[in-house]
Amino acid sequence: MDDAYYMTLAMEEAKKAALEDEVPIGCVIVKDDQIIAQTHNLKEHLKKTTAHAEILAIEQANAALGSWHLDDCTLYVTLEPCMMCTGAIVQSRIKRVVIGAPDSRWPGMTHLLEAFTYNHTIQIDFSTLGTKCAMLLSAYFKKKRKH
């Protein structure tokens, strides 16, 4: 499997979120070509500030591996992680993050990793499906503004 395949799965999760009237962000975590977590935003449904797709996926991956260390894992997410999720990604020792759409509204992962020194280095790549990821978000917010 390749990055496009896993990002497509993350996009499917984002579409599920939109159907549940959640901000359409999906996340998949892979280790050794095996999916160990797959989820989407559930803030509204769970009524939890921290129920971002990345946090929920990290929790699933922790349970799957029986460890808080997610060494050698790749996280695929349709929107650049926020400050909270970036912190969780650093703390979990995820090796690589593949981002769909960049987030220009908030200081996200790329800004935070460039601005500060951490005890863990994360490889960041942007997906070739970034435009499609951005379109999911745009369509969702356009529909919300109409109502």
Catalytic (active-site) positions: 54
List residues forming the annotated binding site for Zn(2+).
Answer: 52, 82, 85
Cα-based angle 144, 28, 142 (whole degrees, multiple of 5): 10
Binding site, annotated residues: 52, 82, 85
Cα-based torsion angle of the residue sequence 84, 118, 124, 37 in order, rounded to the nearest 10 degrees = -50
| C-alpha closest to that of 108 among 138, 78, 132, 86 | 86
* CA–CA dist 34, 19 (Å, integer): 26
In angstroms, the CA 42 to CA 47 distance is: 8
